[in-house]
Amino acid sequence: MGMKAAVFLGGGNITGALAAGLRLAGYDEEIVVYDRHPEKLRALRRKSRVEIARDLKSAVERAGMLVIAVRPASVMGMVGEVAACGVAAPKLCVSLAAGIPLQNLRAWLAVPWVRAMPSPVARVGRGLTALSFDRGVTKSERNHVRSFFEHIGAVLEISEKQFDTFTAAYSSSHGYHALATLAKAAQEVGLDRATALAAAAHALSDGILYWRQSGRRLEDLLREAVTPGGIAAATMSAMDAAGYLRVVKAGIRAGVKQARLNARR
Ligand SMILES: NC(=O)c1ccc[n+]([C@@H]2O[C@H](COP(=O)([O-])OP(=O)(O)OC[C@H]3O[C@@H](n4cnc5c(N)ncnc54)[C@H](OP(=O)(O)O)[C@@H]3O)[C@@H](O)[C@H]2O)c1
């Protein structure tokens, strides 16, 4: 039996993205994964050098840190299996599940828990992970979790009260959705598909990259890009007047509501 490792229960999308991002960042320690689909495990071993756990018990035995990476509806069952597997769970347990509160996790398995919300963009090393800790998590365990996720991008520690809103707001789907919507609108008004996508991708991605890299204030960049009385000004005020903020807020609220439903199932 090898050394204690980071052990993922669930070898799906997010585990695949995290494992790839960790390897890309040069993370050289063992990553152990357990899943009920052997073919997913073999693909992860091939792509990201993970070690396959043959069953749940051996996975839990290996765990210095146990990461629950199954769908929210499967978390209670998975954690119940851990509690009943006959080996003591490690003291450091992390849940990636959207919407499942620390309180529920604690009730299913009595250890101090960490909630982590990573991004699939971790795959290319540009992740962003929010963390929220149970009070019982020690300072050195906090640092351990933080540096683990720092391999694949920035880490924010937030209060659990903010967690669901963060989850709804930070998803990389917003970038893809905005790109698809802006390109579709431009296409309907007269651009061909390829030109519309190129224009929209520049507008969103390069503009935001410029904001990040320059360190300039958003207000100043808006002033630079939006000439009074010009085209961008007309476009932006028509969008605002049509309820841009209102529709985006409705989306975020719906996401938060969905996250809260996960807590009750
Ligand atoms: N995808 C994202 O971008 C993302 C981002 C942040 C957080 N998360 C969170 O991460 C979690 C996982 O999401 P995902 O997209 O990676 O899901 P996923 O692709 O469905 O992966 C979960 C894997 O775990 C397996 N599994 C579930 N219960 C099991 C059990 N009792 N024993 C063995 N294997 C089991 C699933 O098999 P079956 O298909 O047979 O159930 C599946 O292969 C979710 O809670 C989600 O909220 C996801």
pLDDT tens for 1-14 read 557 999 999 999 99
Contact 64, 4 (CB under 8 A): yes
Average pLDDT for 156-161: 98
- Of all protein residues, the one whose alpha carbon is nearest to atom 9 of ligand 1 is 97
Confidence of residue 121 (pLDDT cuts 50, 70, 90): very high
For residue 170, the model assigns a pLDDT of 97
Q: How far is the CA of 59 from the centre of ligand 1 (A)?
A: 16
Which positions ≥6 away from 172 have C-beta within 8 Å?
A: 119, 120, 121
Q: Is 99 in the pocket of ligand 1 (CB under 6 A)?
A: no
Rounded Cα–Cα distance for residues 135 and 73 (Å): 25
Contact 260, 169 (CB under 8 A): no
For residue 2, the model assigns a pLDDT of 59
Q: Is 37 in the pocket of ligand 1 (CB under 6 A)?
A: yes
34: which strand partners? 9
CA angle 156, 111, 94 (to 5 degrees): 35
> Any idea which of 1-15, 90-104, 118-132, 189-203 has the lowest mean pLDDT?
1-15
Chain position carrying tokens 């598909």: 193
Which tokens sit at 232? 């961008």
Size of the chain in residues: 265
For residue 265, the model assigns a pLDDT of 65
Q: How far is the CA of 245 from the centre of ligand 1 (A)?
A: 32
Average pLDDT for 236-242: 98
Q: Is 71 in the pocket of ligand 1 (CB under 6 A)?
A: yes
Q: How far is the CA of 79 from the centre of ligand 1 (A)?
A: 13
Contact 24, 46 (CB under 8 A): no
Which tokens sit at 73? 């509806």
Domain ranges of the chain: 5-163, 173-264
The CA-to-CA distance between both ends of the chain, in Å, stands at 37
Which positions ≥6 away from 62 have C-beta within 8 Å?
A: 1, 2, 4, 5, 7, 30, 32, 53
pTM for the whole thing? 0.95
**Mean pLDDT over the full length of the chain:** 96
Residue in 7, 8, 13 to alter for ligand 1 test, most ligand atoms within 8 A of Cβ: 13
- Three-state DSSP at 126 gives coil
Please give the CATH architecture assigned to the domain spanning 5-163: 3-Layer(aba) Sandwich (3.40)
C-alpha closest to that of 130 among 102, 163, 94:
163
CATH superfamily of 173-264: ProC C-terminal domain-like (1.10.3730.10)
Residue 187 has pLDDT above 70, yes or no: yes
Amino acid, res. 172: S
